[in-house]
């Protein structure tokens, strides 16, 4: 390698190392914040929380967001997805909750549960994916 190109090569190596370190830091942050929770109450009330450090924090936040005295945590995820389906015509009627590695699967499980719970016209009320989900 000639003396003219050696500094350029060093700069390229340093840039590649910095990019690798940045990618590693991003992956670490996403992994560190990879917990979520879904809480539901009566008549379509819900609270959700995602990208928390642990499921305990996510559950506490989901319950705080759920504006109904009967709220309870129905799903927790770690790098996954959750969904809630309710009856469109009657939010106090049937509902379903889904939890899966990918959003489409979580929504399908929620819709199937909603219909199984006796609802006639189910729709997705809320959904979320946590970090990698």
| 11 and 70 share one domain | no
| Residues 94 and 116 both lie in one domain | yes
User: By residue range, what is the domain housing residue 16?
Assistant: 1-32
Q: Is the pTM of this model over 0.75?
A: no
Q: Could you tell me if 20 and 66 lie in one domain?
A: no
| Together in a domain, 22 and 46 | no
Give tens-digit pLDDT for 38-86: 999 999 999 999 999 999 999 999 999 999 889 999 999 999 999 999 9
Domains in the chain, number = 2
Residues 117 and 72 in one domain: yes
Residues 16 and 46 in one domain: no
List C-alpha distances in Å: 65 to 45, 59, 80, 92, 95: 9, 10, 20, 19, 19
Looking at the structure, tell me whether residues 4 and 15 fall in a common domain: yes
pLDDT tens sequence across 75-92 = 999 999 999 999 999 999
What's the CA gap between 37 and 62, in Å, rounded? Answer: 6
Are 12 and 43 found together in one domain? no
- Same domain assignment for residues 41 and 97: yes
Cα torsion at 83, 24, 61, 109 (round to 10°)? 10
């Amino acid at each position: 390698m000639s003396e003219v190109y050696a500094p350029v090569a060093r700069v390229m190596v340093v840039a590649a190392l910095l990019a690798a370190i940045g990618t590693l830091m991003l992956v670490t942050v996403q992994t560190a914040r990879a917990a979520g929770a879904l809480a539901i109450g009566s008549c379509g009330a819900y609270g959700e929380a995602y990208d928390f450090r642990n499921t305990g924090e996510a559950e506490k936040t989901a319950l705080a967001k759920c504006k109904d005295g009967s709220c309870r945590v129905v799903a927790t995820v770690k790098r996954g997805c959750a969904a809630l389906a309710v009856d469109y015509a009657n939010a106090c009627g049937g509902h379903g909750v889904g939890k899966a590695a990918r959003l489409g699967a979580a929504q399908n499980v929620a819709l199937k549960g909603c219909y199984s719970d006796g609802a006639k016209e189910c729709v997705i009320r809320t959904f979320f994916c946590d970090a990698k989900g």
